[in-house]
Amino acid sequence: MKASGNSWTFARIGGVDQVVIKRGEDIANLASLDQKLWAALAVPAAQPGIRESLDYLDADKDGKIRVPDILRCVEELKAKLTNLDCLLDGSDLLLVTQLADEGIKTTIAEVVSINGGDSGEPRVDLTSLDKAIASFSALPFNGDGVVVPASAKETKLKAFLEYLIAQGYKADDASGTSGVNALALDKFLADLEAYKSWSVELSTFKDAFSDQALGEKAAALLKQIKEPVADYFRRCRVLAMSKSPTAVAGLEAAMASALAKNLPADAPELAQLPLALPNSEGLLYPDAAMHPNYATAVVEFLTIMGADANKAVCQAAWEEYVARVETYAAWLGKKPSPEVCTLGKAVLAGSADLNQVDAVRALIEKDVAKAADAEALKNLKTFLFIKRDFIVILKNFVNFDNFYLRKKGIFQSGKLFLDARELEFCMDVKNPAAHGTMAGLASMYLLYCDLSQKNGKKKSIVAGLTAGDADNIFVGRNGIFYDTDGESWDAVITKVVTQPISIREAFFSPYKWLVKTLEDMAMKRAASAEAANMGKMKAAGETAAQAGKTDVKPEQAIPKKMDVGTVAAIGVALGSIGAMVTGILSLFVGMGIWIPVGIIGILLFISGPSMILAYMKLRKRNIGPLLNAEGWAVNSRLKVNVPFGGSLSHLAALPPGSNRQLVDPFAEKKKPWGLYIAIVLVVGALVAAYFLGWLGFIPSLGR
């Protein structure tokens, strides 16, 4: 590794050494920092809160911010700023004295001028810049290439602009009103020219048919009958060549077969038959029998074309009809849309003053001349976003100070409230499949939740439970999520990844498991006994119903006396339990003054394994796998130890100075368990003291 020219400071954060960025010089020399020491090497560009800056850094628009993107931005900042120390405050305020770029200085002066300020040192922030942009956008010429009617001084020009907008040839101006740009004007002129070109030939075809609708109908009919009629004339020519009186016998047989089958109109066999029986003269008789699928269309077409219904049509006449209709159809095919035709007729009739076209273009060019000023304002806004957010990005990229010191990592999407607690470590989940394989590697108790809003928006998050216990956490539990923009979402737990939360929670987990197991066993036994009793009662009732009410009483079906074997079994069980208790008490009494040590040893024997396992898991707890699942290239382990984890999950607590009224009018009557326990402890102490000989100095007890 080559030596760095900068004197770096490292701090132990998150279980690893992370570089400290405390000077502008540190930012300026990031290129000399070994990439192996960066906390991350790639970050997804879609992060809440700083989207504009990340979008600028993602120059190739591949959805990722990488180290070269950061270094490129550093070089740009070094060229534009006199010193990078101004980036450390994380504000959007920019002073002219902080700038080395003359172009940005000029733009700031323009902003100050637009806002009407001229005193003090020139400066700009996002609020004042947005005000200037709004004022600039409201100007008649604002550089967006769109001119509004208000920008026209002449009445005719203004009327022409209003006409174009009314006809739909418009674009949105930066001020929010409708106007006309070059694209809309060109579209208007192109549509008008298309109608003119088509209408020029209208005189050529006006005599083709008495009505344009008839011409359109003839074109539609020709598409339907052109091929069948052409096939008919081909068959006529073949028949004329054969000169055989039996040449059509096969066709007559096929027609007879089709007639016998009563085929539907779309049957393939029927489609193979000719339009009509061919003849050697090559004539088509409109009044002769024709194929049922085409007969009506042929007669209607010939009528439109002016053919005599009583005269045969030869092939030459038919081909003349076809050529005439196809030429007409080709002209109709070039006809513009009805809207364009309506517009063209109106414009040619004088509804719009076309002499104003050049004037409109001149206005558009005048507006476009301001595009450089508009672009400068836009670039300045991007620069202010970078000035505000760059230190935040560095502290979520080069190191993770924002997460460890402020608990505001850019990957944190909000806060989840449920079960009287607040969970600060929440991330959007956009790749559930990756989380399925990575979640266990985080060694963290995780809650996966589906979020929804009443407007139909949905997304998913994962939240880390790092303090308290998980006694009341289960799939299906509801909560409320507040994102970084302050919007609220309904949350429901869909998946729980169980991991140790704390050593304390691990200590009590065996006893909680024992209590839950005993409760489940008791409930199952009670349910089983109730079901057995109900079965016996039902059987006794059925027996009574069959034998008569006076013969058998239902209660006689339930034995009231206990079996002797059962009594003996209970006695043996009680004896065993008593012997075990006696053995344990004897063992404890024999320990003498080491009895407390024995109690502690038993507790450690029970809780020790779970505590050791929890300790090992908590030492491995880190958020790296979760970030990796979302596309981050995390370069080091990002541990979440117990103290830091406790700061990410907040339990409900009464505010300082609150008055708590402990009298509950609906509380259950409590028994003096404290007194009972005290009596048992005193008696136990006396018994132990007696067996240990500690009471021998009392004469009455020594006899």
pLDDT tens digits, one per residue of 542-556 = 777 776 655 545 444
Of 35, 128, 73, 662, which Cα lies nearest the Cα of 381? 128
Tokens of 330: 């080709």
Is 618 within 8 Å of 639 (Cβ atoms)?
Answer: no
The pLDDT value recorded for residue 13 is: 75
Is 273 within 8 Å of 231 (Cβ atoms)?
Answer: no
The pLDDT value recorded for residue 72 is: 96
The pLDDT value recorded for residue 211 is: 72
Contacting residues for 368 by C-beta, under 8 A, at least 6 apart: 143, 145
Of 488, 464, 449, 447, which Cα lies nearest the Cα of 409? 464
Give the side-chain half-sphere CA count within 13 A for 526. Answer: 6
β-pair partners for 342: none
The pLDDT value recorded for residue 469 is: 83
3-state secondary structure (DSSP) of residue 558: coil
How long is the chain? Answer: 703
The pLDDT value recorded for residue 334 is: 82
d(CA 124, CA 94): 5
Which residue positions in the chain have pLDDT lower than 70? 1-5, 14, 118-119, 202-208, 210, 243-247, 258-261, 263, 506, 508, 511-516, 519, 547-607, 614-615, 666-668, 670-671, 673, 684-685, 687-703
The pLDDT value recorded for residue 701 is: 45
Q: How far, CA to CA in Å, does 566 sit from each of 356, 367, 558, 562?
A: 112, 103, 16, 7
The pLDDT value recorded for residue 336 is: 87
d(CA 422, CA 418): 7
* Residue 121 amino acid letter: E
pLDDT for 139-195, tens place per residue?
999 999 999 999 999 999 999 999 999 999 999 999 899 999 999 999 999 999 988
Give the side-chain half-sphere CA count within 13 A for 271. Answer: 6
Q: How far, CA to CA in Å, does 289 sit from each of 232, 285, 286, 295, 667?
A: 13, 8, 8, 8, 102
Of 446, 452, 455, 454, which Cα lies nearest the Cα of 622? 446
The pLDDT value recorded for residue 390 is: 96
Q: Nearest 5°: phi and psi at 431?
A: -135, 75
Each domain of the chain, given as residue ranges in start order, spans: 9-102+372-403, 148-368, 675-703
3-state secondary structure (DSSP) of residue 574: helix
Helix axis angle, 503-547 to 595-620, nearest 10° = 100
β-pair partners for 122: none
Contacting residues for 559 by C-beta, under 8 A, at least 6 apart: none
d(CA 65, CA 18): 20
Contacting residues for 616 by C-beta, under 8 A, at least 6 apart: none
The pLDDT value recorded for residue 243 is: 66
d(CA 520, CA 528): 12
